[in-house]
Amino acid sequence: MIFQGKTVEDAIAAGLRQLGISRDDAEITVLEQGKRRLFGSVPAKVEMEKKAKPAPVPQVALTDGERAVEFLQGLFPLIGSEATPSLAAEDEKIVIRLEGEAKGIIGRRGEVIDAIQTLAGAVANIGRKEYKRVVVDYENYREEREETLKRLAEKLAAKAVRLGKRVRLEPMNPYERRIIHSALVDNEDVTTKSEGKEPARYVVITPKRMKTERRGRDGRDGRDGRGKGRYGDKRERGGKDRYGEKKPYPKRDLPAEATPETSGTSFSRGGTPGYKKGGFSGFFGTFLGKDEEAPVTKDEAPMSETTPSETPEE
């Protein structure tokens, strides 16, 4: 329809009033700008019609993986990362790969990328009855980490068998613990078990043949933690003494006859040390003989304080 007015704006206003629409809903074409002349004027003309509303675009439902990718596209600008997520697979599990410059996206021991993976998994499993695993990977980090954990599992399993003791690993997330269990599931010498509580849950490798520890009376095992005994390792392999064969302690032989029936140490008065038959032996100790006195003989009589040579002359 064509509308007229003194000016273009007057013609447009007249057309909007007649059609009963807003300017945003009108499609306007200016036919004549309108001019003023010496005698009279030429009115402005516009052609106006109502815009046709575009047909609504049917919204295609996003898959679980696409919904997780869309979430990450909005998350990375918020955390200052330039990583670009893309959906790599969505069959048995959802695999999302990150590309571009993404410094610090992995974090210490994969803490950052694990957190991103947890959020993506939560978004992908909205409305699902069964949980579907989501893996977020950057520059093959997951594959390299899996190989590292498999080698670690074999190494610690051999250590547990050698020592005959349980070996405890560091706390890991469920995905990494599952790798340890899978790596040792066919091992005939050890078993694995997860212990502790999240987020500090860990794997324990237990040998099937545990070694028993010898303990003393005080409840200790008699070892100082360095493979030696409490008082040092005095014996070598084979049970022999480190300083040679153990020799018997020599016994003192006493005289067979005229031995005083006492115990202790003997001292003689001025002669050769030893035992004197029938004389004073100088023993200190407990008398083990008879209680009655024996007659004193000539040889046993005490000596005078003065000798014949020392008798004063008259």
In a domain, 15, yes or no: yes
In a domain, 212, yes or no: no
Domain that holds residue 189: 143-207
Q: Which tokens is 151 given? A: 């080698």
In a domain, 276, yes or no: no
d(CA 24, CA 108): 55
d(CA 31, CA 49): 14
pLDDT band at 56 (very low <50, low <70, confident <90, very high): confident
How many domains, the chain?
3
d(CA 33, CA 5): 10
Does one domain contain both 122 and 151? no
Q: Report whether 145 contacts 135 (CB < 8 A).
A: no
**pLDDT reported for residue 239:** 47
Residue 5 forms beta bridges with which residues? 44
Q: Report whether 262 contacts 288 (CB < 8 A).
A: yes
Does one domain contain both 177 and 190? yes
d(CA 49, CA 302): 161
The pTM assigned to this predicted structure is 0.48
CATH code of 109's domain: 3.30.300.20
Q: Report whether 281 contacts 303 (CB < 8 A).
A: no
d(CA 261, CA 283): 10
Nearest CA to 88 out of 75, 72, 102, 104 is that of 72
In a domain, 9, yes or no: yes
Does one domain contain both 154 and 184? yes
Does one domain contain both 75 and 132? yes
Of 66-80, 111-125, 132-146, 204-218, the least confident: 204-218
**pLDDT reported for residue 217:** 55
Does one domain contain both 107 and 133? yes
Whether residue 50 has pLDDT greater than 60: yes
In a domain, 159, yes or no: yes
Domain boundary, last residue among 207, 231, 257: 207
Does one domain contain both 102 and 158? no
d(CA 102, CA 84): 9
| 4-30 pLDDT per residue, tens | 888 888 888 888 888 888 888 888 888
* 233 residue type, one letter: D
Give the residue carrying structure tokens 């998350």: 75
Q: Which tokens is 85 given? A: 């997520």
Does one domain contain both 130 and 80? yes
Nearest CA to 50 out of 14, 22, 12 is that of 22
Domain boundary, last residue among 117, 139, 161: 139
| 130-149 pLDDT per residue, tens | 999 999 999 889 999 999 99
In a domain, 96, yes or no: yes
Q: HSE on the CB side for 152, CA within 13 Å? A: 17
Domain boundary, last residue among 109, 139, 169: 139
Does one domain contain both 74 and 89? yes
Mean confidence (pLDDT) of the chain: 75
Of 162-171, 223-232, 239-248, the least confident: 223-232
Give the residue carrying structure tokens 């957190």: 115
What percentage of the chain has pLDDT greater than the value 70? 65
CATH code of 150's domain: 3.30.1370.50
Does one domain contain both 133 and 70? yes
